[in-house]
């Protein structure tokens, strides 16, 4: 087991609880139901003491924590497990601790099963030890796995391992928060089961930070965003620049709904890699604890909007009495100075008026039942605000919903704005499954800021812009009205803005039957939309979105080759996920297609074919379930199977209603898109990589992968072997004879082992075109069918396989020799 002195020597502490639990709630952190901003500073790591603890002496530590509290911080981020002195000091000063659990993350841990077990045991022991310590708010199960190492180990495997560490920790300490601290060079390493998105970030310009915060909010999805490191080097920029940077950093984080920040660092005293770090000075205080100018700032959050516009909140209801009172109650708690609430009763048979009368400030208006669009237009006509904000009767508004919405209208180009709609914690198991199921209202983004579609449950529109397009169209009686109005606003030249902080809680359906009724209604609405916007739909009836769909899509899609821009040879500073189109050929077996194929096979009396199609449709459903956003609550085995069933049936219900509506309305998709989406940045790879061998090389004078790649380029050039360099999308560095059906490629990584010691790993890959794999598979299948009547075919197939194997073996030996020759030229020593 990996041993930590502080973990082994720390005695048990009494289970007192002076701190209320910190919880993640939508886009925010909360304590006892109230929003709580994590205002933290990093502490350490320090030169180890004689007892092995990586913290200052007890007297110094106590004085440091007093100073940290006096400077206004409420949280301390640690990079080592806390000692008894740390815990006592934190509890004495009322400071919460965000504990990093250190483990061996600078080597290829995915290659070593024993090391992975040690890491898992380290997480287990740390979570178990501190689970009842009240000042420990949460854990970071890792910190900044180096970008090339993550690329080498394959990003998908690394992410799954981190997800496993979080599950291990959560089993031991279920009341604590868990995350992994990533950074821009590996922003794709976001475990789907984190409680909050933790990012270490250093940007020196306000505009760059604000833009990147918007991207990070979209990566965070429905979870809080916490910046777990941000700072400025005084040695390079000066003390005044540090103070100015800290001021605009906090201002922009407040404006962009960041739930917490950690300033790096408290002191210049910093020990890493066996040495005291003296060339950088990131501390708010010097090594001898003299305070810099950045300590003496007024960081109290100012108003998000200087001149708040009047906003009219419109709630439309039709027999929504079960949730309406909670909705109206939340609107009474809005912290916004200039708004009104209008409740439009669309001819309900329930006594909605009785509920409305419990809220005297709400203007209640009843109309004959005419549908959602008519009700929304009625609300807009009565609104006295310049902005009309719509939400549904099954939504609960965050107390700062309107405040953040108002920031979305700081420029006249924005005619509408909206934020995320997040399911609250379910009240029963069925509701939990429905909340995790596909088909929920989702926003569609053209980029990190501009939206193509905003759901009507969280949609604010300038009143004059809504009037200019004639309001909502009456034929949309239950759904589709928000899509139609967003498209028409854009056609009129307006832009839609996504505001991550403007969140509402949105109840999903309470039963399976209600869920399918909702999906059927969406299908019918899609047919209506096709009638009005045929250019927006494809040949099979699906909507042609230009942007990416967020909400019921995965926050963390599969990290296969071609999905991530790593930069040439994996050296990009900002390495992000780029969403593409169809991810799996099984997508073609979803919806009504598989039903039609099964019926056709049964009519043709081919039950085996029908069985194969059904099996493929279940595989497609399982793949779709895997891509769903990870729910903020656990599902048991029976609930997971039910969710799989919903993923299987939901496309059928929705598509069938759409097809029926198309026939009834005479709706047909147009032949071409009026605004076709841009060409994808990168195509999926046409080859698959198979590892042939891996070699390791040691060097103690700083020679690593960069020098080896240069030597290999020269070596291949001398032999007139053409090469292709990775341009940032592939999981190799160099590929030889790239235009051949079978080609060798090389992937490298260098591990840093202190001072100038380097371990360089080099992997030889065989890249084979998919068409060859499919062709060989089909040929072998055909040979298998014909082998009995024609045994000569089996012999020929065996000889072909032997010939191919001999070719691959020869290829391996040839390029192994090249790897060794290039390594010898630059002084790399083979390590067994």
Asked whether residue 726 is assigned to any structural domain, the reply reads: yes
Provide mean pLDDT across the span 333-359: 96
pLDDT computed for residue 247 by the predictor: 96
701-753 pLDDT per residue, tens: 999 999 999 999 998 999 999 999 988 888 899 999 988 888 999 999 999 98
238 and 374 share one domain: no
- Structural element, H or E, at residue 571: none
477-514 b/e (C-beta count within 10 Å ≥ 16 → b): bbbbbbbbbbbbbbeeebbbbbbbbbbbbbbbbbebee
Report whether pLDDT(589) > 80: no
pLDDT computed for residue 8 by the predictor: 34
Provide mean pLDDT across the span 744-763: 92
Question: Would strands 197-200 and 225-230 be described as parallel, antiparallel, or unpaired?
Answer: parallel
Report whether pLDDT(213) > 50: yes
Asked whether residue 634 is assigned to any structural domain, the reply reads: no
Which is more confidently placed, 517 or 792? 517
Which of 550, 572, 601 finishes a domain? 550
**CA 615 centroid distance within chain:** 30
244 and 321 share one domain: no
- What beta strand segments (E) does 63-104 contain? 75-78, 96-100
597-633 pLDDT per residue, tens: 888 888 888 888 888 888 888 888 887 787 776 665 6
pLDDT computed for residue 12 by the predictor: 37
Neighbours of 305 (CB within 10 A): 19
Contact 627, 557 (CB under 8 A): yes
Question: 199-208, 671-680, 711-720, 750-759: which has the minimum mean pLDDT?
Answer: 671-680
- Residue whose C-alpha is closest to residue 77's, from 102, 58, 99: 99
9, 128, 439, 483 from 523: Cα distances, Å: 62, 49, 10, 13
Question: Would strands 136-143 and 443-445 be described as parallel, antiparallel, or unpaired?
Answer: unpaired
No. of H helices and E strands in the chain?
23, 32
Which is more confidently placed, 306 or 145? 145
**pLDDT over 70, % of the chain:** 88
Phi first, then psi, for residue 691 (nearest 5°) are -70, 135
Neighbours of 15 (CB within 10 A): 9
pLDDT computed for residue 790 by the predictor: 59
What are the residues whose beta carbons fall under 8 Å from the beta carbon of 458, sequence distance 6 or more?
390, 391, 395, 401, 418, 419, 420, 421, 502, 503, 504, 506
Tell me the C-alpha distance between 372 and 824, whole Å. 74
What pTM, to 2 d.p., does this model score?
0.89
Contact 591, 752 (CB under 8 A): no
Tell me the C-alpha distance between 521 and 627, whole Å. 24
Instruction: Please provide the DSSP assignment of 661-709 as one string.
Output: HHHHHT----SS-SSPPPPPSSPPPSEEEEEEEEEEEEESSS--HHHHH
**Residue 128 pLDDT class (50, 70, 90 cuts):** very high
137 and 196 share one domain: yes
Tell me the C-alpha distance between 332 and 361, whole Å. 8
Give ∠ CA 38-41-44 in degrees, rounded to 5.
Answer: 140
Most confident region among 237-241, 510-514, 562-566 by mean pLDDT:
237-241
520-536 pLDDT per residue, tens: 988 888 888 888 888 88
Provide mean pLDDT across the span 56-84: 96
Q: For residue 409, give the 3-state DSSP assignment.
A: coil
Question: 204-208, 458-462, 770-774: which has the minimum mean pLDDT?
Answer: 770-774
Q: What domain range is 331 assigned to?
A: 311-550
Q: What is the mean pLDDT of the chain?
A: 87
143 and 16 share one domain: yes
Q: For residue 139, give the 3-state DSSP assignment.
A: strand
123 and 268 share one domain: yes
pLDDT computed for residue 797 by the predictor: 65
Q: For residue 745, give the 3-state DSSP assignment.
A: strand
**Which neighbouring-strand residues pair with 199?**
182, 227
**Residue 197 pLDDT class (50, 70, 90 cuts):** very high
Asked whether residue 132 is assigned to any structural domain, the reply reads: yes
**Residue 55 pLDDT class (50, 70, 90 cuts):** very high
pLDDT computed for residue 557 by the predictor: 60
Which of 550, 566, 594 finishes a domain? 550
Report whether pLDDT(261) > 50: yes
What are the residues whose beta carbons fall under 8 Å from the beta carbon of 819, sequence distance 6 or more?
695, 712, 746, 762, 764
Which is more confidently placed, 719 or 680? 719
280 and 345 share one domain: no
710, 766, 819, 829 from 826: Cα distances, Å: 10, 25, 11, 9
Tell me the C-alpha distance between 605 and 83, whole Å. 73
pLDDT computed for residue 70 by the predictor: 96
pLDDT computed for residue 735 by the predictor: 92
Report whether pLDDT(786) > 60: no
Tell me the C-alpha distance between 242 and 698, whole Å. 40
272 and 318 share one domain: no
Tell me the C-alpha distance between 832 and 819, whole Å. 15
CATH number, domain of 111, equals 3.20.20.80
CATH number, domain of 524, equals 3.90.550.10
286 and 325 share one domain: no
pLDDT computed for residue 612 by the predictor: 84
Asked whether residue 157 is assigned to any structural domain, the reply reads: yes
Report whether pLDDT(99) > 80: yes
Which is more confidently placed, 101 or 555? 101
Asked whether residue 598 is assigned to any structural domain, the reply reads: no
Residue reference for tokens 């890699």: 273
Phi first, then psi, for residue 4 (nearest 5°) are -120, 125
Q: For residue 580, give the 3-state DSSP assignment.
A: coil
- Residue whose C-alpha is closest to residue 375's, from 484, 481, 524, 260: 481
215 and 354 share one domain: no
pLDDT computed for residue 783 by the predictor: 59
**Residue 357 pLDDT class (50, 70, 90 cuts):** very high
Tell me the C-alpha distance between 456 and 472, whole Å. 11
Provide mean pLDDT across the span 139-158: 95
Asked whether residue 626 is assigned to any structural domain, the reply reads: no
91 and 136 share one domain: yes
Provide mean pLDDT across the span 469-480: 92
Instruction: Please provide the DSSP assignment of 766-824 as one string.
Output: EEEEHHHHHHHHHHHHHHHHHTTT-HHHHHHHHHHHHHHHHHHHHHHHHHHHHHHHHHH
Report whether pLDDT(358) > 90: yes
Tell me the C-alpha distance between 671 and 257, whole Å. 42
291 and 315 share one domain: no
pLDDT computed for residue 679 by the predictor: 41
Provide mean pLDDT across the span 100-122: 94
pLDDT computed for residue 272 by the predictor: 76
Contact 713, 669 (CB under 8 A): no
Rg (CA), the chain: 30
Phi first, then psi, for residue 798 (nearest 5°) are -65, -45
Q: Which two tokens stand for residue 407?
A: 């920031």
Report whether pLDDT(581) > 80: no
**CA 104 centroid distance within chain:** 25
Report whether pLDDT(427) > 70: yes
Report whether pLDDT(80) > 50: yes
Provide mean pLDDT across the span 368-394: 96
3-state secondary structure labels for all residues of 600-616: HHHHCCCHHHHHHHHHH
Omega of the bond leading into 510 within 30 degrees of 0 (cis) = no
Report whether pLDDT(7) > 50: no
Asked whether residue 709 is assigned to any structural domain, the reply reads: yes
Provide mean pLDDT across the span 65-79: 97
pLDDT computed for residue 603 by the predictor: 87
248 and 354 share one domain: no
- Residue whose C-alpha is closest to residue 24's, from 180, 226, 195, 253: 195
- Residue whose C-alpha is closest to residue 282's, from 213, 227, 251, 236: 236
pLDDT computed for residue 469 by the predictor: 97
pLDDT computed for residue 571 by the predictor: 83
Count of domains in the chain?
A: 3
Which of 295, 319, 346 finishes a domain? 295
Asked whether residue 218 is assigned to any structural domain, the reply reads: yes
């Amino acid at each position: 087991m990996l041993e930590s002195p502080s973990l082994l020597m720390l005695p048990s502490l009494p289970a007192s609880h002076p701190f209320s639990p910190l919880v993640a709630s939508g886009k925010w952190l909360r304590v006892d139901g109230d929003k709580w901003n994590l205002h933290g500073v990093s502490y350490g790591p320090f030169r180890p003491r004689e007892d092995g603890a990586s913290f200052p002496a007890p007297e110094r530590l106590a004085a440091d924590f007093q100073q940290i509290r006096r400077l206004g911080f409420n949280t301390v981020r640690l990079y080592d497990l806390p000692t008894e002195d740390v815990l006592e000091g934190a509890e004495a000063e009322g400071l919460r601790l965000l504990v990093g659990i250190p483990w061996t993350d600078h080597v290829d841990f995915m290659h070593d099963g024993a090391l992975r077990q040690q890491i898992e045991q380290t997480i287990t022991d740390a979570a178990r030890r501190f689970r009842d310590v009240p000042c420990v708010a949460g854990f970071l199960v890792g910190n900044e796995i180096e970008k090339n190492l993550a690329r080498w180990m394959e990003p998908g495997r690394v992410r799954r391992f981190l997800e496993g560490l979080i599950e291990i920790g959560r089993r031991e300490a279920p009341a604590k928060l868990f995350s992994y601290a990533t950074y821009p060079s590996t922003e794709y390493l976001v475990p789907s089961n984190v409680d909050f998105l933790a990012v270490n970030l250093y940007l020196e310009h306000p505009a760059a930070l604000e833009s990147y915060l918007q991207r990070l909010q979209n990566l965070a999805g429905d979870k809080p965003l916490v910046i777990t490191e941000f700072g400025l080097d005084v040695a390079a920029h000066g003390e005044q620049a540090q103070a100015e940077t800290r001021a605009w950093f906090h201002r922009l984080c407040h404006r962009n709904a960041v739930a917490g920040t950690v300033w790096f660092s408290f002191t210049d005293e910093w020990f890493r890699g066996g040495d005291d770090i003296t060339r950088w000075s990131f501390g708010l205080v010097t090594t001898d604890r003299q305070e810099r100018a950045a300590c003496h700032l007024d960081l109290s959050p100012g108003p998000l909007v200087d001149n708040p516009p009047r906003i009219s909140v419109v709630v439309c209801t039709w027999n929504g009495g079960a949730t309406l009172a909670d909705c109206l109650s939340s609107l009474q708690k809005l912290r916004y100075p200039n708004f009104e609430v209008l409740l439009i009763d669309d001819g309900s048979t329930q006594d909605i008026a009785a509920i409305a009368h419990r809220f005297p400030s709400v203007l209640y208006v009843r109309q004959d039942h005419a549908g959602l669009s008519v009700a929304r237009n009625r609300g807009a006509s009565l609104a006295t605000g310049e902005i009309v904000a719509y939400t549904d009767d099954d939504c609960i508004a965050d107390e700062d919903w309107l405040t953040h919405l108002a920031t979305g209208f700081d420029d006249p180009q924005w005619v509408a704005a909206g934020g995320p709609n997040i399911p609250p914690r379910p009240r029963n198991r069925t509701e939990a499954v429905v909340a995790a199921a596909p088909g929920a209202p989702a926003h569609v983004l053209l980029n990190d800021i501009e939206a193509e579609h905003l759901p009507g449950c969280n949609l604010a529109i300038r009143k004059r812009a809504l009037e200019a397009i004639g309001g909502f169209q009456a034929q949309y009686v239950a759904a589709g009205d928000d899509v139609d109005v967003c498209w028409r606003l854009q056609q009129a030249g307006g832009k839609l803005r996504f505001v991550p902080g403007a969140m509402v809680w949105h109840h999903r359906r309470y039963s399976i039957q209600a869920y399918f009724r909702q999906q059927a209604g969406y299908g019918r609405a899609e047919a209506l939309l096709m009638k009005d916007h045929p250019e927006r739909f494809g040949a099979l009836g699906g909507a042609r979105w230009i942007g990416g769909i967020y909400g019921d899509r995965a926050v963390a899609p599969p990290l296969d080759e071609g999905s991530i821009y790593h930069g040439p040879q994996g050296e990009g500073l900002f390495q992000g996920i780029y969403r593409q189109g169809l991810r799996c050929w099984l997508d073609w077996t979803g919806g009504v297609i598989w039903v039609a194929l099964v019926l056709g096979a049964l009519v043709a009396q081919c039950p085996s074919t029908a069985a194969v199609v059904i099996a493929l449709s279940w595989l497609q459903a399982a793949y779709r379930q895997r891509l769903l956003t990870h729910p903020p609550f656990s599902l048991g085995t029976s609930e997971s199977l039910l969710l799989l069933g919903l993923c299987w049936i939901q496309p059928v219900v929705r598509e069938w209603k759409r097809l029926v509506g198309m026939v009834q309305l005479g709706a047909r998709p147009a032949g071409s898109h009026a605004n076709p989406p841009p060409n994808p940045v990168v195509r999926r790879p046409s080859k698959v990589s198979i590892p042939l061998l891996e070699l390791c090389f040691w060097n103690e004078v700083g020679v690593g992968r960069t020098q080896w790649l240069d030597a290999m380029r020269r070596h291949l050039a001398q032999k007139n072997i053409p090469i292709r360099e990775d341009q940032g999308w592939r999981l190799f560095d160099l590929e030889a004879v790239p235009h051949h059906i079978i080609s060798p490629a090389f992937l490298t990584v260098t591990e840093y082992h202190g001072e100038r010691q380097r371990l360089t790993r080099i992997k030889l890959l065989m890249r084979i075109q998919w068409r060859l794999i499919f062709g060989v598979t089909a040929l072998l299948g055909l040979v298998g069918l014909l082998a009995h009547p024609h045994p000569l075919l089996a012999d020929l197939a065996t000889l072909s396989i032997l010939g191919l194997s001999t070719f691959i073996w020869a290829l391996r030996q040839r390029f192994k020799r090249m790897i060794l020759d290039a390594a010898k030229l630059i002084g790399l020593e083979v390590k067994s």
